[in-house]
Amino acid sequence: MTEVLFYHLTESKLEEALPALLEKSVERGWRVVLQTVGEARRDALDQHLWTYREESFLPHGTDQGEMAEHQPVLLTVTDANHNGATVRFLVDGAEPADLSAYERVVFLFDGYDAAQLSGARGHWKVLKAQGHQLTYWQQSQEGRWVKKA
């Protein structure tokens, strides 16, 4: 079964928390596909990942770019897996497709967005009933991830 992780943003925005999680994935040699809900959001995250910190480099691209299949981190708005990722991030309330193709699936959701919070709760119930291994992480006041379940 796929390992499913829920990351509940309570102290920072997605743009602040996402780069570190993607960096850790790349450091571990994992290929990642990140799904968001619209092309404008995908493109904004793409730009952000090039500029979020001056001294860093996070290799990535979008499903509309050249050589998408070679990207260690690929941003998309579809459920396709053009880069053969083993880890899938779902952000901004993106809906998952078949999780069985992945070793890990990460739901990263804004705790102050009622729709994202409700969606995450619904996915938790469905995926738990399907027998997936679930973990729930929430930010502390300092912005660190604390395992809650």
- CATH of the structural domain 3-147, one choice from 3.60.130.10, 3.40.50.10110, 3.90.1150.10, 3.30.70.1430: 3.40.50.10110
Q: For 77, how many CA atoms within 13 A lie in the half-sphere containing its CB?
A: 11
- The distance of Cα 144 from the centroid of its chain, to the nearest Å, equals 17
Give CA–CA dist 86/101, Å, rounded. Answer: 7
pLDDT in 10s for each residue of the chain, 149 residues: 899 999 999 999 999 999 999 999 999 999 999 999 999 999 999 999 999 998 889 999 999 998 999 999 999 999 999 999 999 999 999 999 889 999 999 999 999 999 999 999 999 999 999 999 999 999 999 989 999 99
pTM exceeds 0.75 for this model? yes
Smallest Cα–Cα separation from 4: which of 95, 96, 127, 110? 127
The residue extents of the domains of the chain are 3-147
H or E element in which residue 14 lies: helix 14-27
Residue 34 is encoded by which pair of tokens?
A: 């990140």
DSSP E strand boundaries for the chain: 3-9, 32-35, 61-62, 73-76, 87-91, 104-110, 133-139, 145-147
